[in-house]
Chains A and B, each alone.
Chain A
Amino acid sequence: METLLQQTVNGLVVGSVYALVALGYTMVYGILGLINFAHGDVLMIGALVALEAIRLIQLYAPDLGLIPTLLGGLGVSVIVCMALGYTIERTAYRRLRNAPRLAPLITAIGVSFLLQTLAMIIWGRNYHTFPQLVSTTPLEPVAGVFITPVQIAILVVSATLMVALLLLVNKTRLGRAMRATAENHKVASLMGVDTNKIIAATFIIGSALAAVAGVMFSSNYGIAHYAMGFMPGLKAFTAAVLGGIGNLGGAMLGGLLLGLVESIGAGYIEDMSFGFLNSSYQDIFAFVILGIVLIFRPTGLLGERVADRA
């Protein structure tokens, strides 16, 4: 029982990082119908930029205190990633907006590898130690379950951001314009919405969330490196599809569910498959779920019908 509870906590923490990243995928997909392959790599850039900023802050303002330092690093990284998201949209995707399906997808794969290569050139191939500004020492166990302050912070921050995003999309003018653009570009622009601006805003918001996710990811595991974005990116995409791509609530639900499935799955797969499979198949869960959802319920858990759009 203790083990199951612990696995649940592990899963929720990983899942909320997936959820934050999934939001970025789902927003872009909802509006452009494009899988932004490079989104996971924005997370990586976010983590590495934050690392660099924190190093600088520690060098020039060593007395700043842990939390302000972290927030400083986070701030810099969010701003850089927003700019990056805007640049990617403007240079690589905008020209292909009316091109057939394959072109933007291939470009997106290209952008993803380009970001990884650039990071490799700037930061090298080594793993970097990410400063431990929020403690990773576990608190007193509750019901035998260990949880660390950084994990609690991750849960709280992602929940807050998700609520904020929901409010933004559902209650503000910008949100209404975003929803209108997602519904139909042409009609939205006829109604006076500057769709170019809205699409850029979507990329900027998504990238900011990815930057936060990157910093949380690195604070939790204490590492950052050039290829760290790929797997979380892929899994977050799966989460977005699982929840129903284009649907914000779905992305959150999908992220949490995927985290739980992975964690509990890896913990119990050996017993469930009578010893035939084991934890070496942990990375398969996401792909299998993705396949099953797309084949049997392409709209995801909460999605509307979007499968034959385009």
Chain B
Amino acid sequence: MKHTLVALAVLGLGASAVHAQEVVKLGTAAPLTGTQSHLGKDIENGVRLAIEEYNAKGVTLGGKKVKFEVQAEDDQADPKTATTVAQRLVDSGVKGVIGHLNSGASIPASRIYNEGGIPQVSPASTNPKLTQQNFKATFRTIANDVQQGLAIGKYAATKLGTKIALIDDRTAYGQGLADEVEKAVKASGGKLVAREFTSDKATDFLSILTRIKAQNPEVIVYSGMDTQAGPMLKQIKQLGLNVKFITGDGACTGEVIKLAGDAITGNTFCTQPGLPLDKMPGGKNFNERFKKRFNADVQIYAPYSYDATSAIIEAMKAANSSDPAKYAASIAKVNFPGVIGTVAFDAKGDIKDGAVTVYQFKAGKWETAN
């Protein structure tokens, strides 16, 4: 926790510390309080690490040596707060933003960055809509839900069984992902025998599961969060349903293992955009640097926010300027080896060849499935 104090000090002194070199501020926004604060902090730390490393190496733009600084803001995973926070970042003259975590926060915020002419690179928001708004400088370094939905649907239909039941939690994330899964299942020759719905606050799934049971599926796909997936696994067991179970990244967590107790078995799978840390080209090395600097483990998003930061700085270097109006166009053209693999964006601003990894529950934890 000490580095938050240091961070505050840096922020406080930032204005007064006028050096010969030019200061370039980058913003990052993610939930730093609340249930997802550990993930938000992960994003912030990734950004910090990247910036400190670039500062140590020294970057020169337009003949002047520049020093990068971070302004971290808390969007509380809430859409309205996200717009306020976005406004604050634009106001304080940041040259680029790495954030937000939740798609629900990223999408309304992206509008404000776009109006302010500030490039935004999200390390975590997977909703396809984010990059479909025709904003010139909205990017992401993580695979989107189309890619993930495709992976889930294909894996379920080809490896787990052809009769598939699909449940989603009627959130923007759950429903969006489920629609992609449905398409992919059909495209891979699977048969959707039931599509049911619950909510992100529900605890009782017995009636929809009973209904599903009548259709004798081989696989249940759940598109939603771990807090529902855990109890749902229990109730699947309660009803004597013998099926394979697969979820997206929302339920690909340690939490689901805890909540499901003895109801989680080797028949449970989940997917996560990106490669597992130890399979990333720069993963092992990154993990060591990260641990040394923050004395904390990489949660999920730090490599993505690290690479998002690098993408912005590399684009500045290519344009030889930190002026968003000048360097924004260069982000679309970056192509460099990052921690997660080659960082390059497609025409929309999505990461090219975003990988999705399938995990299987084995001996008490998630292991890469084959």
Contacts and interface: CB of A to CB of B under 8 A. Distances in A.
Q: Is chain B in direct contact with chain A in the complex (CB below 8 A)?
A: yes
A10 B206 contact: yes
A183 to B, nearest CB: 38
Contact of B203 (A136, A221, A264, A267): A221
A137 B259 CA distance: 15
B213 interface: yes
Given A125-B34, A227-B201, A279 B238 contact: no
A266 B211 contact: yes
B258 interface: yes
A65 to B, nearest CB: 19
A146 interface: yes
A227 B227 CA distance: 12
Interface stretch (B20-28, B229-237, B323-331, B342-350): B229-237
A107 to B, nearest CB: 25
Interface stretch (A126-134, A173-181, A241-249): A126-134
A6 B238 CA distance: 11
Given A10-B206, A10-B207, A282-B207, A223 B230 contact: yes
A127 B237 contact: no
Contacts of A3: 210-211, 213-214
A14 interface: yes
Contact of A129 (B198, B211, B258): B258
A306 interface: no
B265 to A, nearest CB: 13
Interface string A196-236: 00000000000000000000010001110101100100000
A138 B238 CA distance: 5
A115 B17 CA distance: 46
Interface in A134-154: 136-138, 141, 146, 148
Given A146-B238, A282-B198, A10 B230 contact: no
A7 interface: yes
A116 interface: no
A146 B240 contact: yes
B261 interface: yes
A280 interface: yes
A41 interface: no
A14 B211 contact: no
Given A10-B210, A221-B204, A231-B201, A148 B230 contact: no
Contacts of B255: 126-127
Interface string B210-221: 110110000000
A194 interface: no
Interface in A3-40: 3, 6-7, 10-11, 14
B278 interface: no
A279 B198 contact: yes
Given A138-B237, A223-B259, A262-B207, A278 B35 contact: no
B302 to A, nearest CB: 21
B211 to A, nearest CB: 5
A219 B276 CA distance: 35
B234 A141 contact: no
A228 B240 contact: no
B53 interface: no
Nearest to B206: A10
A283 interface: yes
B238 A266 contact: no
Contacts of A225: 227
A106 B261 CA distance: 40
10 contacts: A6-B213, A124-B35, A138-B237, A225-B227, A228-B203, A231-B201, A267-B210, A279-B208, A280-B170, A282-B207
Which 4 residue pairs across A and B have the least CB separation, nearest first? A280-B197, A266-B207, A10-B206, A125-B35
